[in-house]
Amino acid sequence: MKTKRAMNWSLLSKNKFVVNKGTEISSMYGSPDRIETNKDGSLHRATWTKIEGCEEVLLYGDVYKKLHPYPAIVFVIATRMMSVPDNLIGPLKYASETINIEQVQTNKTINNYYFRTGKKLKAKVSGSCASITISVITLKFVEDMVKKYSKNTKLTHKMLMKIFRHEYDKRVSDYLEGKGIVPPIKWYPNKLEKKEEYTVKV
């Protein structure tokens, strides 16, 4: 059972964004299930499992930067297991550099099934940003594109890349412009960042 206490994140990181987000998450969900540190004791990454409708929520000690669809920092990752057809992996990755699709390091059951049969039941899909919500919007985007286009036989790879990138950009833009989460995400309770949902950010 997770300890419902806030940790002193300033002992693990000197980055104010990491400290603030770590404090926010642990104040609601307790200590991470895993904490990985560097040789000097600083945070490499912290992982909470089964929170906010996600398989994992990870907080990295290093802050990276992205350009698309807006310049932003990246240090929060959300993951979820889902089926992703091989033919959609390229277009999904093109939609955003923050989307990753792990097909081997999923879980033991899925990996062992793949090893025995060659069939990929599910992949561990991750989305990353500076918030759980935008990371989850990214996961929902992948989920929706798979549902809509997994049986596509008419659209070319190049056409799918253009469609996916446009749709991803629109979803992130809607949120950052204060329009909320569009479309809504039933499996995401948004307990932690609800107050930010209709705040104009750009």
DSSP string over 93-134: HHH-TTEEEESSSS-HHHHHHHHHHS----EEEEEEESSHHH
**CB neighbours of residue 40 within 10 Å:** 5
Q: What is the mean pLDDT of residues 86-100?
A: 97
pLDDT higher than 90, residue 201: no
- How high is the mean pLDDT of the chain? 94
User: Do strands 54-66 and 72-82 pair parallel, antiparallel, or not at all (unpaired)?
Assistant: antiparallel
Tell me how far CA of residue 124 lies from CA of 33, 80, 107, in angstroms: 18, 6, 9
Q: What is the pLDDT of residue 1?
A: 46
pTM: 0.94
Mean pLDDT of 98-119: 97
d(CA 145, CA 91): 10
Percent of the chain exceeding pLDDT 70 equals: 96
What band does 200 get if pLDDT is binned at 50, 70 and 90? Answer: low
The 10s digit of each residue's pLDDT in 131-165 is: 999 999 999 999 999 999 999 889 999 999 999 99
Nearest-Å Rg of the Cα atoms of the chain is 17
**Confidence at residue 39, expressed as pLDDT on a 0 to 100 scale:** 96
* Spans of all domains in the chain: 9-196
